[in-house]
Amino acid sequence: MTALRLCAVIPTCNHTTALDAILTRLDAAGLPVIVIDDGSAAANAEILRAICARHPNCELQRHVFNGGKGFAVMCGMARAAERGFSHAVQVDADGQHDLDALGALIAMAERNPDAIVTGAPIYDASAPAKRRFGRKFTTFWIRINTLSFRLPDAMCGFRIYPVEKTLALVRKSVRGLRMDFDVEVLVKAHWAGIAVAPVPVKVIYPEGNLSNFQMVADNIRLAKMQTRLFFGMLWRAPSLLFSKPPRIVGGEPTRWSVMRERGAGWGLHLLAAVYRLLGRTVCLAVMVPVILYFFLSGREQREASRDFLDRMWRAGHLKRKPTSWTSFQHFLAFGGSALDKFAAWTGGISHSKLRGDGVAALNELVAKKEGAFIITAHVGNPDVVRAIGVLGNAVPLNVLVHTENAEMFNKLIAQFSPQAPVRAIPVTKVGADTAILLSDAIARGEWVVMVGDRVPVSDGGRVVEVPFFGELAAFPQGPYVLASILKAPVYLLFCARERGVFEVRFTKFADRIDLPRRDRMGAIRAYAEQYAKALEAEVAARPLQWFNFYSFWHRTSSAGGLQKATS
């Protein structure tokens, strides 16, 4: 419990009718108030002045021009900081916030002084249908942009902000200072790792209410902001997926977890429905500006793409000499694969979309109920096969991922499909523990999946350089070392998109990986060469589905041998 130095901030633009009642309630709660008159018309400004004058605890700041709700709130908060308040509760001036909930909000803020506490509206029948739809739409986008269902309805302005943290966040990263502010600040807070704690509140739409929400202009503004956030989300997707949510203390745990689960199911259905309704082409078209943004801003990735494409051209795997347009298509293909991945994990891609010899080979191995070690690559979309297999309960999967925090991925999958037998294991910590866990899994007939074309960042030494398209490139030793310890048959899985279906290639790599003590490095090198050769064939057939956007060949690696010491 922390004692808050709390004040209220009320932005208002021509809202005069409800203000007096609000101020009376806040007086009763003992809260000093800062009212920001956000460019009200002269007559209304006069009324506001008169109302505020009746409440000695109320400070009025007049902006002669309308700067937008977010700007007004921030000015109020800056003033709160000047006056030494630690927290500010934002209250809308139109009276739609149920001030009965103030106590609950304050209690939550006392338990979580570093969090933004936000009212999560429960709508009664007085809410106009149009607005309700708008909010659902916004909630949907927020879920996409935070890749989580942790954030509640973000359009509710009834909040308690930690003053200094919020000011810092807004100075650094929030751009929308109008109606889009409420939403953006929550999403950015989530990205910045600031906890967002929801408290259920009632929202009332008073009759004859004047709303400053302009149905067209503000919805466009919201849409624009969501697009902007979408860029940022794609960029942060990995860390968002794997990030641990900041802990929220207290509140209404049981109730919220129930609501959240229900929300998740609903959001999921909506996402999947949108994809099915609009189709991949439309979704991809919507993503084009996003991808263009990455293309233009991601110089390093662009250069890596171009270098790769030039190599493909020289090797005769591209029909035309690559240009910037080819590079952009390369980026587009990547965007498309992200979309496919998403669709696959939400059940939007059916088994019937899988083609190629690999399908029969996969089914055969599934029928055998035999444990296997599977090596894939960042080529095409092996995720699609994984998702379809996992959602169809074909076989339990253990996926080694290059991320510190695999727990979140596990949770996410559990949310998508609670029965899905898939487990993510961080590749950074493969020790005896993990090896035992995995060898038990294999003994049970489960599969272990790992990529063979990403070298570990931290573990610099454990790579082996082998020829790849005619020049040495670093590949990880990990897959072969682990497979040798697991003593399981090893397969290669590739899956690439080809005219709307997915070509699957699934081939036996080795019955068992054997690394004889006499020439371990040589054996590892031979396996890596075999893998690189298989990868070459796959990449040569569809160069644009190569999704390693960094310079694959020119890395400064110490392609060392096995470590002699264990530390």
Backbone angles phi, psi at 322, to 5 degrees: -65, 145
Least distance from other proteins to the Cβ atom of residue 520, Å: 7
Give the residue, chosen from 432, 499, 500, 556, that forms a contact with other proteins under the rule CB under 8 A: 432
| Binding flag, residue 562, other proteins (CB under 8 A) | yes
Least distance from other proteins to the Cβ atom of residue 557, Å: 17
Spatial contact of 527 and 485, defined as CB atoms under 8 Å apart: no
| Binding flag, residue 500, other proteins (CB under 8 A) | no
Residue among 168 and 562 whose Cβ is closer to other proteins: 562
Binding segment for other proteins among 53-61, 84-92, 263-271, 558-566 (CB under 8 A)? 558-566
Residue recorded with tokens 């991925």: 409
| Binding flag, residue 511, other proteins (CB under 8 A) | no
| Binding flag, residue 558, other proteins (CB under 8 A) | no
Strand-strand pairing, 33-38 and 6-12: parallel
Least distance from other proteins to the Cβ atom of residue 373, Å: 15
| Binding flag, residue 131, other proteins (CB under 8 A) | no
The CA-CA-CA angle for residues 305, 310, 312, to 5°, reads: 95
Q: Say how far apart CA 495 and CA 116 lie, in whole Å.
A: 43
Give the residue, chosen from 1, 65, 125, 433, that forms a contact with other proteins under the rule CB under 8 A: 433
Residue among 86 and 484 whose Cβ is closer to other proteins: 484
| Binding flag, residue 431, other proteins (CB under 8 A) | yes
Give the residue, chosen from 183, 203, 515, 559, that forms a contact with other proteins under the rule CB under 8 A: 515
| Binding flag, residue 457, other proteins (CB under 8 A) | no
| Binding flag, residue 405, other proteins (CB under 8 A) | no
| Binding flag, residue 299, other proteins (CB under 8 A) | no
| Binding flag, residue 147, other proteins (CB under 8 A) | no
| Binding flag, residue 517, other proteins (CB under 8 A) | yes
Residue recorded with tokens 């089914």: 363
The site for other proteins, by CB under 8 A, has a size of 20
| Binding flag, residue 398, other proteins (CB under 8 A) | no
- φ/ψ region of 161 (left if φ > 0, alpha if ψ in -120 to 50, else beta) reads beta
Residue among 501 and 526 whose Cβ is closer to other proteins: 526
Q: Say how far apart CA 85 and CA 77 lie, in whole Å.
A: 9
| Binding flag, residue 560, other proteins (CB under 8 A) | no
Q: How many CA atoms lie within 13 A of 487 on its CB side?
A: 4
Cβ atoms within 10 Å, residue 254: 8
Cα torsion at 526, 527, 528, 530 (round to 10°)? 90
Cβ atoms within 10 Å, residue 273: 12
**For the chain, how far is it from start to end, CA to CA, in angstroms?**
44
Q: Restricting to residues 458-497, which ones interact with other proteins according to CB under 8 A?
A: 481, 484-485
Residue among 500 and 516 whose Cβ is closer to other proteins: 516
Nearest to 378 by CA among 347, 406, 345, 402: 402
Least distance from other proteins to the Cβ atom of residue 481, Å: 5
Mind giving me the DSSP string for 433-484? HHHHHHHHHHHTT-EEEEESS---SS-TT-EEEEEETTEEEEEESHHHHHHH
For other proteins, the binding residues (CB under 8 A) are 429-433, 435-436, 439, 481, 484-485, 515, 517, 520, 562-567
